[in-house]
Amino acid sequence: MLKSALKVFLVGVLSLSSTVFAQSANKYVNVNPPQSTEPGKVEVLEFFSYSCPHCAVVEPMIAEWKKTLPADAVLYAVPVAFNAAMKPLQELYYALQAVGRTDLHPKVFNAIHQEKKRIFTKDAIVAWVASQGVDKTKFAAAMDSFGVKSKVQRADQLAKGYAIQGTPSLAVDGRFLTSPTEAGGYQQMIDVANDLVKKAAN
């Protein structure tokens, strides 16, 4: 059962999260139909998965870019699940928010991709988070909470609305979507998104 679930999980990661970078003439695509965004702000959505190796590389780059965004721009991370086996990783992200430990966000990437820890199931996730000094019972309850489940549901709706096919992807102002594939690389994706933020603000 576990091996079967892990196989499904890995297939989803390899087929949908992995990307082959190729220079695109447009560098981004128009979202059709455009999606609603936070009023009065230029909204940027970072679609990611903890299991995605490309996301692990680009995450610190996006964190630095976020510091340079103008005051009227906001950036929100949106965890994506391409299959049921990836759901616990979405819950992990929102549960970290719920218990006030977003400082562990980059450490999750490090644990999976550098330390090769297999924290893909709820039990494994709770055990790892507990090893980081978080109350085990409190965190498990957060993962199962209505608030976290609601945010996961909203993340799924966003991924569907933006027709996300792979991670990482950056959506700007509900109208534009770019990725390393479209832009031609990690930094290029951020540069394109930055230009789109300026375009949306005008």
Tell me which fold the domain 49-164+185-202 belongs to. Glutaredoxin (3.40.30)
Phi-psi region of 104 (alpha: psi -120 to 50; beta: other; left: phi over 0): alpha
pLDDT in tens, 120-141: 999 999 999 999 999 999 999 9
Which position has the token pair 């959506």?
Answer: 171
Contact present, 42 and 74 (Cβ < 8 Å): yes
pLDDT of 60-100, one tens digit each? Answer: 999 999 999 999 999 999 999 999 999 999 999 999 999 99
First CA to last CA across the chain, in angstroms? 53
β-partners of residue 46 are 77, 170
Residues 6+ apart with CB under 8 A from 150: none
Percent of residues in the chain assigned helix, strand, coil, to nearest 5: 55, 10, 35
Domain boundaries, the chain: 49-164+185-202
Select from 14, 199, 94 the least CA-distant residue to 191.
199
- Which residue, 111, 142, 106, is CA-closest to 124? 111
**Stated pTM of the model:** 0.88
Report residue 57 as tokens.
Answer: 């590389």
Residue 25: per-residue pLDDT: 58
CA separation, residue 52 to residues 16, 18, 29, 35, 114 (Å): 9, 7, 22, 25, 12
> For residue range 23-48, what is the model confidence (pLDDT) as tens digits?
445 799 999 999 999 899 999 999 99
Torsion of CA 161, 83, 16, 90, to 10 degrees: 70
Confidence check: pLDDT of 5 > 60:
no
State phi, psi for 168 to the nearest 5 degrees: -80, 155
Task: Please write the tens of the pLDDT for every residue from 143-192.
Answer: 999 999 999 999 999 999 999 999 999 999 999 999 999 999 999 999 99
